């Protein structure tokens, strides 16, 4: 018998395809961005505690946790010509990202509307403005002023009546719109 050998060389080509690097997306990543460039110094956990460093902040955000938001309070003061300070007039405002809302300053003789409202707002800049730019007929916007804390800032404008308010985590702002009765 003839012995023959058949040598089969089987070359297998393995095409290695590197697995695509998953890109993080969504809110966790967006929140984590706020930690960079010293941003971690301006953010707080929901329980109010601060971060020890950037990694602490990024880790917190990466787990889907939210940062402590800010609080914006809007107050209306209406000075009446009769000196009672009881004004039935409604004053309506717009607020970035929120429905319009109305306030009055009738010393709660009518509980329908309050003379102030507070809003929980995320980190960012918001504008609260007298609706329509001008005050109601018979009233003049005499002053717009905002008090801020170390985690917030504000700029006010009398014409048209508005306030631009910027919140870092934990920001607290109160903006007061003061009206004078003109008729």
Residues that bind Ca ion (CB under 5 A): 104, 106, 110, 113
Nearer to Ca ion, 76 or 144 (CB): 76
User: Least distance to Ca ion from the beta carbon of 105, Å?
Assistant: 7
User: Least distance to Ca ion from the beta carbon of 104, Å?
Assistant: 5
Nearer to Ca ion, 60 or 104 (CB): 104
Nearer to Ca ion, 35 or 113 (CB): 113
User: Least distance to Ca ion from the beta carbon of 174, Å?
Assistant: 18
3-class secondary structure, 33: helix
């Amino acid at each position: 018998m003839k012995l023959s050998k058949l040598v089969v060389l089987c070359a297998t080509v393995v095409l290695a395809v590197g697995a695509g690097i998953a890109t993080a997306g969504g809110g966790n990543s967006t929140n984590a961005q706020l930690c960079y460039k010293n941003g971690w110094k301006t953010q707080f956990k929901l329980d109010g505690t601060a971060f020890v460093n950037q990694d602490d902040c990024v880790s917190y955000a990466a787990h889907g946790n939210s940062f402590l938001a800010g609080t914006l309070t809007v107050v209306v003061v209406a000075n009446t010509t009769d000196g009672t300070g009881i004004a039935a007039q409604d004053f309506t405002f717009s607020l970035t990202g929120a429905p319009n809302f109305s306030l009055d300053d009738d010393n709660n003789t009518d509980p329908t509307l309050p003379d102030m409202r507070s809003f929980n707002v995320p980190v960012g800049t918001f504008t609260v403005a007298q609706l329509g730019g001008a005050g109601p007929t018979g009233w003049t916007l005499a002053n717009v002023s905002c008090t801020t804390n170390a985690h917030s800032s504000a700029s006010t404008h009398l014409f048209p009546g508005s306030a631009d308010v910027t919140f870092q985590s934990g920001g607290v702002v109160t903006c007061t719109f003061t009206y004078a009765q003109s008729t």
